Structure 1
């Protein structure tokens, strides 16, 4: 082993590299230490010692701002986040997360919607349900009142009318129901006849027609068809022989004979009065009692002759002609001259009397029987064994032109019924009932309602929708988050020692190699210095 004296020449050569290595290591270590120390400014009196505080404490705000800028503007950008969201690993994780959440939810035995909502929000839920129901009803009514629906309804009504009218009449009125229908029609007719309002309306209508007819100068002939007038005239003429026979028999009646004698005596006396001065003389010869006796004797003696006189064909012809002329004059006379209605009370009385008589005639038992037989025969005729279409039957009853108007009115009635207030209220009730059932009906387990394939497709759709939503909203989210400010404020809020520990934990390994590199660099410089010294000594 060499002594110090013997090893001194070697130490001379080792000292420069070793000292250089030590100085390099120490310099870098001090430099690194000065990044964090001192924490505060050092002063000697009023003089501030340079390099205090350390770089990190003195520049912490600038450091925080730079780190925030780096993270917010260059690292966590919206593009980087969007790209990360579309990566397969994230998509798989999101798919698994959605599937697990959906599967967990679908296995729950859910109650009604109202029970699912937390009690705190049920009031708002009820308001939302009512608002939604109101909006649905308004939109539904608006849609139903539109032109498109109106055209659809008209076509549907027309199709329904065609279907009903094209069906066999026996489908509408079966043969075994025709008698019942006839009875019901008669009952309805009789009820209408018994209704006091019917008599009042009929009397009022008759009064109006009488006033209108008489005001226009109408005659009885205008009220009767020509064939009816001819029938009445012929009937009166046919009764002429009977009238003449009745007149002859009346002359045989003592009371009638006495009145006839009285009339003849009065006529003779009136004639005598016209003779002037000779009237007294004639009265002396023609006593009233004498005239009475002679006339009665004459009538008794000529009774057969008088009967023959009334049965004479010539007399019959003249009487027939006279009766015809008289009837023609009556029929041709204005109705106002015949009735001579001058007061409203009289007109009302006549109108009410006509209405009562007419309704009484309709209410008669024989009229009911005749009406029933007529309706039964009419049904049998128009139904034609049940093989005829309903439309053809109605057309036979009311005519071709009224049948077309009937179809139009029926279509308008059907379409109008759809737009009636009752239909509107009915639609409102349906919407309210459906809303109530939807809210209160238990949902149960969704996996019993939704097939697995549909659930899988639903999860995939939810993942795609979530991804699209996140990607579309990332720029706005990043901007609203202001990551730069968050990082800056967070770093700026750290305690200096905490910040030092954080940086050292990140860069401790790097700092160690920096120190070693400083030692290596000092060693190399020391070797270079040694070579320079050796060269200079030679």
Structure 2
């Protein structure tokens, strides 16, 4: 084999290597480029656009189906949700966020402002009063007694007994006092003066002071007697029964609607301090809740929520239509970005394919050169 033969084989090997390498390089580039079809007049240049741009919709549809069938499957998602490690992470995050909220210095007003909810306490009081008034109007035909629970009725009756005893004690103490004595004396004098000649005659024989000395003990004994106490109890019980038998509407009408409305508003304003409630830090409301209680309840709640969520995964994934979501996202993805992602992942392999083209082309060129020598 002379030098001419060697140069023939080398030249053919070089040409084959160039053809193989350049062909593979162009094939790789044609996967992505051109991004759009190229026309010469009305004639579309073959192999334009590139393979991926041309089959983009098919690629998106296939990728969406692959994701749902093999990657994000319901069974896989269910297994992940009930995994102990995942539950521990969710539980740790939930405890951290809950404790941060419960021990916060922020007030309820500030919390509501975070959600763009401005609170006007005057409006709150007004709405609360209107709600109570509406409920009162709905109960207009009911008797007061029917609105009270049995326990409260028993307490009311016991309170009437105590009130009767208290009134009796007050009356006895008043009659026995200096003011009571003076009042009795005034009544005696008024009685005698109102009887004309007979009263004047009795006054000449009876000293009002001595009459009071005799009358006062009798009144005290009468007021403090058991009979008086039973009479007061019966009187209060009778009046209480009359009141309980009246309807809400009757009581409202007796008091006056305007008076009732005003009373409701005053009670609401005094009994519900909305300003104080809204400006109190959250931690004040939660300070009595023990940390271990929160942890136990929260751990149980997280477990139940994740378990319930895992049971609903098939339905949720069906409603989400993940395959269509992936298809839509891939279809709207810029081709330049797709090319960058693929090259970033497979650039090394693409280079090896190009080098392999050079190698195979060179080997084929050498084989062709040897065959040419024999021919």
- TM-score normalised to the size of structure 1? 0.45
| Cross-structure match for 1:183 | 181
Displacement after TM superposition at 1:433 (Å): 2.6
| Cross-structure match for 1:157 | 156
Match of 1:96 among 92, 113, 118: 92
| Cross-structure match for 1:451 | 290
| Cross-structure match for 1:50 | 46
| Cross-structure match for 2:280 | 442
1-structure distance, mates of 2:216, 2:222? 10
> Does 1:39 find its partner at 2:35?
yes
Q: Is the 8 A contact 1:24 1:522 kept in 2?
A: yes
| Cross-structure match for 2:218 | 377
| Cross-structure match for 1:130 | 125
Displacement after TM superposition at 1:499 (Å): 1.9
Instruction: Describe the SS at the equivalent of 1:109.
Output: coil
1-structure distance, mates of 2:322, 2:308? 20
2-structure distance, mates of 1:441, 1:511? 66
Q: Is the 8 A contact 2:125 2:268 kept in 1?
A: no
Q: Is the 8 A contact 1:98 1:462 kept in 2?
A: no
- 1:152-231 aligned within 5 A: 152-162=151-161, 172=169, 178-180=175-177, 183=181, 186=184
2-structure distance, mates of 1:153, 1:413? 17
Instruction: Describe the SS at the equivalent of 1:67.
Output: helix
Displacement after TM superposition at 1:113 (Å): 3.6
Instruction: Describe the SS at the equivalent of 1:39.
Output: coil
1:480-525 CA deviation, whole Å, 9 max, x = no partner?
8665555434333333333222223334456567778999999999
- 1:339-378 aligned within 5 A: 373-374=214-215, 376-377=217-218
| Cross-structure match for 2:238 | 409
2-structure distance, mates of 1:126, 1:473? 42
1-structure distance, mates of 2:268, 2:308? 34
Displacement after TM superposition at 1:155 (Å): 2.0
> Does 1:60 find its partner at 2:56?
yes
1:334-364 CA deviation, whole Å, 9 max, x = no partner?
xxxxxxxxxxxxxxxxxxxxxx759x969x8
1:91-122 CA deviation, whole Å, 9 max, x = no partner?
33333333333444455434x54455549956
Q: Is the 8 A contact 1:154 1:411 kept in 2?
A: no
- 1:505-520 aligned within 5 A: 505-508=344-347
Q: 1:517 to 1:89 in 2, by over 3 A?
A: farther
1:452-494 CA deviation, whole Å, 9 max, x = no partner?
3344346546745875796699788767866555543433333
Structure 1 vs Structure 2 CA RMSD:
6.0
Q: Is the 8 A contact 2:128 2:268 kept in 1?
A: yes
Displacement after TM superposition at 1:60 (Å): 1.7
Displacement after TM superposition at 1:409 (Å): 1.0
| Cross-structure match for 1:491 | 330
- For structure 2, which runs of at least 5 residues remain unmatched after alignment? none
2-structure distance, mates of 1:100, 1:188? 79
Displacement after TM superposition at 1:426 (Å): 6.1
Larger radius of gyration: 1
Q: 1:55 to 1:152 in 2, by over 3 A?
A: same
Paired residues, number: 349
Q: 1:76 to 1:192 in 2, by over 3 A?
A: farther
2-structure distance, mates of 1:468, 1:22? 62
